[in-house]
Every structure is written in C-alpha cells, then in structure tokens.
Chain A
C-alpha cells in the first residue's frame, strides 16, 4: 500500500504517545500499589473491594466495641465477686449468731460486724463506671441505685430494669450491664406465714382459744407446702390463703381433744386431723401452739411470696441482733430470715456471675471470629485491588523497553529521505 509521509509520522508519534502513556500508568501502579487506577479498568473487582472495605471499616468499630464491652464485663465481674464474698461472710455471721452460747453483747458485736459488711455492700452495689455512671441502675445511670429511705427504714432500688446492649458483630448484641433489679432485687424472701401470732376468730359457739402461735421450723417442708398451695389469683377471696385450726373436744372427757386443719373453712384433702397432745401440732413444717380450751379455732395465713434485697435482709438481722429482747422462736425467726435470704441473695449474684461468664465466653469467641474475618477480608481486598509488586515492576520495565524501541525506530525512519540522495 502506498504510504503518505503524514501517515508515517503520525503512526510513529501515535505509537510513542501510546507507549509513554503505558510507562506513566505502570509507574503510577508501582507508586500507589494499586492494581487499578480507575474503576473502569475492573468495575467488578473494584465494587467487590469496596464492599470488603466496608466490612473492614465496620469490623474496626466492632473491635472497639469488643474492647469496651470486655472492660465493662471485667469490672462488673470483680464487683460481683466482692459482693458475693461479703454476702457469704454475712451468712457465716448469721449462722454463728444461732449458737446459743453468745451473750447479748456478743450479738451486738456481731451486729456491728454486719453493719460494716452492709456498708461495703452498699458501696459495691452503687459502683460507678469509669465515666461516673452507676453500673447497676439499668437505664437510669445517673441515679444512685441503692439509697437508704429513712421513712420506711429500708434500702430501696431506684433504678429500672433496663439492659444496656453493645453490638459486637453484625447481628450479635451482648448485654454490657446487669441491673440491680435482676442481680439484687430478685432474691427471694423466706417463705413464712403472715403473722406468728395466730388470729383468734369470733365463732359460734364461743371460741375458747385465747391465743396461739405459728412458727415455721421445718423450712424445706414448709416451702414445698407453700409453693403447692399458695393461691396468688388476684381475683381470689381475701381469705383464700387462710388456714383454720379447729379444735374439737373429745367425744368423752377421757378422749383427747382433736383438731382439724381447714383451708378457708373447707376440709383439706386428705383431711388433716389429729389428736391434741402436749406437743405442738406439727403441720407442714409449722409448729402450732395455742392457749385455751376446746372448742375453739385459730387462724393463720400464708404470706404472699416476696423478694428482699440483701441490704434490707442485713438491716433486719442487725436490728434483731441489737434488739436484746427477742427470745426463743422469735429470735430464731430473725436468724432464719437472715440465713435463708442471704443464701438466696448469694445465689442470685452467682446466677448473674454465671451469665456474665457466658457472655465473656461469647465475647472471646466472637472476638476471635472478628479477627479471622478481618484477616480474610483484608486478604480478599488485597488480592482484588492491590498490585503484585514484582509484576508491576516487570510491567514498568517492559513498557520502558517498548517506548525506547518506538523512539529508536522513529529516529531511523525520520532519517530516510530520497532527497538526501539526489
């Protein structure tokens, strides 16, 4: 084909420009360590890499969250540990107080020991986080959860049941705090009857019983009885949980008096009947005693199950130990309240600790998973858009060679002219 001079020059220059471009691009790749200089070079790879970048950026935040959560849980764990130890110490003291050898003064010194423990517990339960927020008050983190209310003589919980949650991976949120309600308030009070002094109803014929007492002395048996029989229905009659001990004279003067225990005037099934002896009537872990003669009746009522926090339990115990007038069964009741409820409080704290441990386990496994994902994501992104240095440098060399070659050929071509020879 016939070639024109213009075309020859144009072609050579085009080639040189093209190769210069190639060198510049290859150099840019080496400098920026990017495989692609713009999206159009590999739209699919780059959009994929962008999604990986998003994952990596989210993961960074999750890692921060994990650290934050880890710190919080550790603080909480050590606080709960301290609380549990204090409660156990208090329980030991309560058990010790049951030893009949202690004098009133001894009991008072035990009481002052308990007061110190109570102070420690108040401090621990009002623990603040590093930024001065209370950790056991639910959502109300600027409200002190436990305060002594002098009007009711009780420690009341002022927080709520809120649970603060931190997200540590996509779709995985973990509780970062436990509120005082779940940890301290939910500890069961000892099940009991409403009043140790029996009610003496007015009956026809006249009630000859003048007084009576009901004490729980078999707590395990009573607990079972209470759980099986307590009627919690709010629509039930007010006397639904009242039991009547009806004392009937013996058929003859020689026969012993008999008793039957009714529930709200109805016989139990099977009927609870027996003879009156010198011993107190023993019914479902309760010790029932009365004064007066048959016929007669005394009533007692099962107490509604309720909760008592450890501070109030200690408060009652301290009051009881300091009282000095309590004797016998009444004193035992105070100690029983203390021992049972401190045990319950301790169990509740341990329960929270267990869930804390579970969360820390989950945290560490998620943390590992996040790390693994992060490495994988970075590797994937790198393979998509980051340059292979060896290849980039060899590309650069190749482009340079091509440029040199096209420049050299241009020089040769330009020198050729027939005019030089005529």
Chain B
C-alpha cells in the first residue's frame, strides 16, 4: 500500500513538474513569433498513478487557414495602398500639375497673339513649351522611378518567397522524420517554425495548404499551382521580362527548371507580390501611358497647326516639338530577323489611344496585325490589319484603316507569328524634345491674305481665308515661299452667280459661285480644290467687283494661325477609348485628360483603401480567432502556475505522508 503511495506521489510530482514546465514554456514564449500555446494532459494509470503526460500545441487548423488567407488579402492591399498613395499624393500636388503647365503655355500663346511681332512674347511661349516638356518628363520620371522600385522589390520578394518555400520543404522533411515517434512533442518548435514560414509566405503570395502524410503540409498557390510538394520537393519563382526586360513577370519554374516555366496570372495574385504587380499594372502602366499619350497628342496637334502658318521669318511654319520614335520589343520566341520602330503619324496624334500595342506578322509577308492591349496585356477591341509598302505602315498605305495614329517602320524579314510589343506612349513621355527654341519659329500668321478691291461697289466681301494644308501643292518650297499658282483674282461677272477667276491655272476662267459662297475653291473642283487653302465670298458683290488672294508677305501682325494654336487648348485631341461607336464623343481636351488621369489614380487608390480597410478588419478578426486558442495569456498562465505549484506541493506532501506511514510501520515492528 505505502509502496504504491510512494509510486503515486512520485508520478504526481513528475506530472506536476511537467505541467509547470509547459506553463513556464508558455510564459517564456509569450513574445515569441509563431509560438503556439501548449498544454500537457495526463491520464490515470491502472494502479492509480498519473500516466505519462502528453504535451500538444493548441491549434485550430481552420482558424490558421483563415488567418493565412486574410493575411494574403491584407498584405495585398497594404502593399498596394502604400505604393499607390505615393503616386496619388505626388499627382495631387499642385506644383506637379500638368494642367498648370498646359494652361501656362496656352496663356503665353495668347499673350504673343496680342503682339505677334514682339519677340519677347514669342520667346516666352518657347520657354513655356520647354517647361511643359520638362513637366511631362518629371511626371513620367516619377512613374518610372516607381517602376524601378517595383522591379527591385519584386526581385527581393521573390527571393524571400523562394527562401520560405525551401525552408518549408526542409521543415516538412524534418517533421516527417519525427512524426509519430515519441519525440513528436519535443519537435513542436519545428512545427511552429514551419507554420510561421507558411504564414510569412502567405504575406507574400496567397496560398492554400493541404495536410500531407506524416504531418507534412503541402502548399499550393491560390490559383492552384503546386509550390511545396511531398517529401520536401518544391517549385521556385523566377522573374523574367519578355519582351520588355524592364517589365518583369512572375513565373513558376517546375521540375527544377527543366520544364517550361508556368505563367503566373498576376491579376489574381494576392499578398505583397500581388499588390506590387497590381500597383504596377493598375496605376503605373496606365498613368505613364496616359501622360505619354497627352504629350504626343499635344505635340502633334501643335506641330500640325504650326505647319499651317507663317513664322516671323516669313517662312511656312515647321515643327515645334520633336516626336520620338520607339523601338518595338521583340518576343523571345520570334524566329525571323525583323525589327519594328513606331512613332506618331504626323497629324494623327488624336487617334492614339493610351495603350500598348502588339504587332504580329500575318501569313502575308507584307502584312501585320496591330492589336492595342490594356495594362494587363489583354486585347482591346479588334486588331487592325495593315500592309506595308517599302517597310512603311502609314495611313497613305492603308486608306480607311484605323492605325491608332501609329506610323510603323518595319526592317528585315519577319516570319508569320513573329510578335513585337510597342510601348510608344510610355517611352514617349520622357523623350519629347523641343525642335526649336526660337520664338520666331512660332507660326502665328496665316500664309495667305485676301483683299477686296478698293473700287468694289457691292456689299460682297472675301473672307480672311483658311489653310488646311501647305503640302498639297498650293505653296512653293522656295525661300521665301510663295503661292504656287500666283495670286488669285475673282471678278464678279454680269450673270447672277457668274464670276471670272484668274491665277496660274488660267486667266478669266468663268465659274459660278452660288450663295452663301462658302469654300469657293473646294466647290470649283480640280485643279482649284487642291490648293490646300480656301475662302468664302460673302454678301452680294456687284458686277465688276473684284477680290484677290495673295501670299501674306510681310504680314507679321497677323495672328490668325496663332488664334488656332490657342484654340488647341480647348480642342478634343486625346482619344479616350480604343473601341467606340462612330458617333460617340471619344475625345477629351488635354486638361480633361489630365484631370481624368489624376482621378483614375485617385479612384483606384481610394478603392484599394476601402478594400484594404475591410480586409484589415477581417484579418484582425481571424487573428483574434486564431489567438483565442493559440495565443498565450499571462494571467491564465499565472493562475496555472499557482495551481500547479500547489498540486506539486500536494504531491510532495503525499510523499511525506508515505514516508510517515512507512516510518510508523517500521517503529511498530521494532
């Protein structure tokens, strides 16, 4: 009996010290990351002794999975919001506003219109044009910097994720080795470490876990690809840019890199990596494209209008801005030796959408398809098929085809299916330069002027005239230029709508001009309709009245073309959508486009913030759920400590009692 009592006391002391040990372990690890609260339980053995203690981790697998999932979502939005907030704040800054630069440029154009022959006002316009380019450059620089940061961060996160994947694989093997053996309980730190690695991985990408044999955990990406498999084998991520080496995509190398890497769908990724990629695709790419598009549209519109005027040197206007050319990125899978470069076709800047393009060779060796793609690489609308003549694709070679404002130059021979990615918009923003810094090159005057004869008796008058093209053949290319067909004289003849026209194409040619006499030359047909300029005869001229049109020699106070330049500010030049019906209002003004860009960034950021707050709350809740079982509460441990101390003391007392009984027995037998 007393012998048994000793045994019982002995087992009680052992059991209670085990309990105390677990409690101390819990207390000691209260601040250990990834530590799961443990509990030791005992059962009674047949001879009333306390059985062997069983220490296990208190873990709710469902809560753990939920926590991992919510963590992925939370870190996704955290990452996205942190990054996008920076861009959002920069774009909201008044001093960074492109609108201010645009307004300032056009204000100075107006100022120069007040005094067209003042060189001071003209040079102010050029200074402002320079400022505008710099502003575009700066804004796109901000975006480009962010892009570089994203590329670097992506590499770091990928390395981090790969490290965790390897670690989980190794720990899985360790766990398989001890699982089911007596040492399993001592291996709880290995379990903790692995679960922490899984949780860390869930911060980077979204994962699903599956219980494998022998306590292993198999890891899959949210989209289903296996990352950690049985027996410690695993797949790693890699980042490559195809075709643009500076635009990295996430790939999953399978079979130790011996097979073709799996594409990872960036749009479905969560976690920090997903947040980073989403930020790049949803904010950076569209922002840079839109800035570039605005710059190109503005430069092209300005150039084209300037061409239609006469500068302060009496010459026809030239380019004010240089529009850059972007080389297409060839895909690695291309088999031919072709190359492509793209720029904006002069005068077509308003057809350019804010997207990238994929140019693909078709079965016809002189034909490519041009497909605008969105920020995620998905096609926008239908592709255009364009033929090239002498390596050039432009609207002259492809009448009636929407080339999206592009002018492509194809070099070398391409095979069917060879693809190129064109990033004209994003490359352009930083590369627009001033073609001239001289204010005199601003073509504020119109190259033609009209006059009523002094002795006209009727109420008729000739309008100031408008120029639609200076290359159509109406002007000579000499210096100084002149009208190719000489001055035009129109004299009213006796018949109601009869007139006589005289110029290089014949003297006193009888014509009719019916009221209201709009666009006289266009109404006359060849050769007059090909001059590239036109005028109206308004009112009712009397017989014998004559009207003339001549080159605007010396007309430096003229600001008609300048007024048109100033009107560009309110003109619709920025294409909104790739796909639209023909009667839709598909263009915005520069200022609207910029406001739209800032708003887009703001809206996406704001959505992310709202979603982020929601997932933050969810993550907190699942953390609370998880912690409610697995977290250490010091008050609870304090109480346990007290309780186990007492029961240890009680067990010791049992030992004392057994010894007393034994002593009593000995002395009785003496």
CB-defined contacts of A1 to chain B, threshold 8 Å: 624, 628
CB-defined contacts of B555 to chain A, threshold 8 Å: 138-140, 160, 162
Given A38-B602, A51-B591, do A65 and B543 touch, yes or no (CB 8 Å)? no
CB-defined contacts of A58 to chain B, threshold 8 Å: 103, 106-107, 569
CB-defined contacts of B557 to chain A, threshold 8 Å: 133, 137-141, 162, 164, 177
- B455 engages A306 (CB within 8 Å): yes
B457 within 8 A of A: yes
Stretch in contact with the other chain, from B113-121, B214-222, B237-245, B661-669: B113-121
Interchain CB contact (< 8 A) of B629 among A2, A167, A235, A419: A2
Measured CA separation A42–B610 after assembly (Å): 12
| 8 A Cβ contacts from A13-36 to B | 14, 36
Stretch in contact with the other chain, from B12-20, B87-95, B129-137, B511-519: B87-95
- B595 engages A37 (CB within 8 Å): no
- A164 engages B556 (CB within 8 Å): no
Measured CA separation A374–B602 after assembly (Å): 27
B651 within 8 A of A: no
Given A65-B110, A160-B451, do A235 and B493 touch, yes or no (CB 8 Å)? yes
| 8 A Cβ contacts from A129-188 to B | 131, 133, 137-143, 160-167, 170, 173, 176-177, 181, 185-186
B552 within 8 A of A: yes
Given A139-B449, A186-B454, do A65 and B595 touch, yes or no (CB 8 Å)? no
Chain B interface category by residue count: 35 or more
Q: Determine the residue in chain A with the shortest Cβ distance to B601.
A: A39
Measured CA separation A165–B559 after assembly (Å): 7
- B635 engages A417 (CB within 8 Å): yes
Measured CA separation A7–B545 after assembly (Å): 96
Given A47-B595, A232-B543, A232-B544, do A38 and B605 touch, yes or no (CB 8 Å)? yes
A99 within 8 A of B: no
- B88 engages A50 (CB within 8 Å): no
Interchain CB contact (< 8 A) of A7 among B111, B493, B627: B627
Measured CA separation A191–B370 after assembly (Å): 71
A236 within 8 A of B: yes
- A139 engages B558 (CB within 8 Å): yes
B187 within 8 A of A: no
CB-defined contacts of B117 to chain A, threshold 8 Å: 131, 133, 141-142
- A164 engages B599 (CB within 8 Å): no
Given A2-B633, A167-B113, A418-B634, do A40 and B609 touch, yes or no (CB 8 Å)? yes
- B632 engages A5 (CB within 8 Å): yes
Interface centre among B450, B634, B639 (most CB of A within 10 A): B634
Measured CA separation A61–B450 after assembly (Å): 30
CB-defined contacts of B601 to chain A, threshold 8 Å: 39-40
- What mask results when residues 83 to 123 of chain A are scored 1 for a CB within 8 Å of chain B, else 0? 00000000000000000000000000000000000000000
- A162 engages B591 (CB within 8 Å): no
CB-defined contacts of A7 to chain B, threshold 8 Å: 623-624, 627, 631
- A37 engages B89 (CB within 8 Å): yes
- A131 engages B591 (CB within 8 Å): no
Measured CA separation A186–B457 after assembly (Å): 10
A293 within 8 A of B: no
- What mask results when residues 324 to 344 of chain A are scored 1 for a CB within 8 Å of chain B, else 0? 000000000000000000000
- A38 engages B92 (CB within 8 Å): yes
Chain A interface category by residue count: 35 or more
Nearest-Cβ distance from residue A130 to partner chain B, whole angstroms:
10
A228 within 8 A of B: no
CB-defined contacts of A236 to chain B, threshold 8 Å: 494
Given A50-B99, A422-B642, do A307 and B454 touch, yes or no (CB 8 Å)? yes
- A161 engages B88 (CB within 8 Å): no
- B554 engages A4 (CB within 8 Å): no
Q: Determine the residue in chain A with the shortest Cβ distance to B109.
A: A61
Nearest-Cβ distance from residue A163 to partner chain B, whole angstroms:
7
B445 within 8 A of A: yes
B467 within 8 A of A: no
Q: Determine the residue in chain B with the shortest Cβ distance to A137.
A: B557
Given A4-B628, A141-B557, A306-B455, do A40 and B88 touch, yes or no (CB 8 Å)? yes
A256 within 8 A of B: no
- B634 engages A5 (CB within 8 Å): yes
A361 within 8 A of B: no
Q: Determine the residue in chain A with the shortest Cβ distance to B623.
A: A7
Nearest-Cβ distance from residue B158 to partner chain A, whole angstroms:
28
- A418 engages B635 (CB within 8 Å): yes
Interchain CB contact (< 8 A) of B455 among A41, A160, A166, A307: A307
CB-defined contacts of A219 to chain B, threshold 8 Å: none
Given A233-B544, A417-B635, do A139 and B457 touch, yes or no (CB 8 Å)? no
- B627 engages A161 (CB within 8 Å): no
- What mask results when residues 238 to 258 of chain A are scored 1 for a CB within 8 Å of chain B, else 0? 000000000000000000000
Q: Determine the residue in chain A with the shortest Cβ distance to B103.
A: A57
- A68 engages B449 (CB within 8 Å): no
A207 within 8 A of B: no
B592 within 8 A of A: yes
Interchain CB contact (< 8 A) of B558 among A68, A164, A233, A234: A164
A405 within 8 A of B: no
A53 within 8 A of B: yes
Measured CA separation A214–B110 after assembly (Å): 58
Measured CA separation A140–B604 after assembly (Å): 55
- B114 engages A65 (CB within 8 Å): yes
| 8 A Cβ contacts from B579-635 to A | 591-592, 594-596, 598-599, 601-606, 609, 620, 623-624, 627-635
| 8 A Cβ contacts from A59-79 to B | 60-61, 64-65, 68-69
CB-defined contacts of B113 to chain A, threshold 8 Å: 166-167
Measured CA separation A12–B103 after assembly (Å): 49
- A419 engages B638 (CB within 8 Å): yes
B226 within 8 A of A: no
Nearest-Cβ distance from residue B79 to partner chain A, whole angstroms:
16
B470 within 8 A of A: no
Interchain CB contact (< 8 A) of B605 among A39, A69, A142: A39
Given A39-B92, A131-B115, A139-B449, do A232 and B558 touch, yes or no (CB 8 Å)? no
A54 within 8 A of B: yes
A274 within 8 A of B: no
Interface centre among B97, B117, B559, B603 (most CB of A within 10 A): B559
Given A2-B629, A5-B30, A38-B85, do A234 and B500 touch, yes or no (CB 8 Å)? yes
- B628 engages A2 (CB within 8 Å): yes
B542 within 8 A of A: yes
B262 within 8 A of A: no
Measured CA separation A166–B116 after assembly (Å): 11
- A41 engages B606 (CB within 8 Å): yes
- B631 engages A5 (CB within 8 Å): yes
Measured CA separation A231–B542 after assembly (Å): 10
CB-defined contacts of B255 to chain A, threshold 8 Å: none
Measured CA separation A235–B602 after assembly (Å): 72
CB-defined contacts of B500 to chain A, threshold 8 Å: 234
- A3 engages B628 (CB within 8 Å): yes
Measured CA separation A273–B100 after assembly (Å): 81
- What mask results when residues 276 to 310 of chain A are scored 1 for a CB within 8 Å of chain B, else 0? 00000000000000000000000000001111000
Hey, which bits of chain B sit against chain A, CB under 8 A? Answer: 30-31, 37, 84-85, 88-89, 91-92, 97, 99-100, 103-104, 106-107, 110-111, 113-118, 445, 449-452, 454-455, 457, 464, 491, 493-494, 500, 542-545, 552, 554-560, 563, 566, 569-570, 591-592, 594-596, 598-599, 601-606, 609, 620, 623-624, 627-636, 638-639, 641-642
Given contacts A54-B103, A140-B554, A305-B457, 20 further A-B contacts (CB under 8 A): A1-B628, A6-B627, A37-B89, A39-B599, A40-B602, A50-B595, A50-B598, A58-B103, A61-B110, A69-B114, A131-B117, A137-B557, A162-B557, A164-B559, A165-B560, A166-B114, A167-B113, A167-B563, A167-B566, A422-B641
Q: List 26 A-B contacts (CB under 8 A).
A: A3-B633, A4-B627, A4-B630, A4-B631, A5-B30, A6-B631, A38-B85, A40-B84, A40-B602, A40-B605, A43-B599, A46-B598, A50-B97, A50-B598, A61-B110, A138-B557, A139-B557, A142-B556, A161-B449, A167-B113, A167-B566, A170-B570, A181-B451, A232-B545, A307-B455, A418-B635
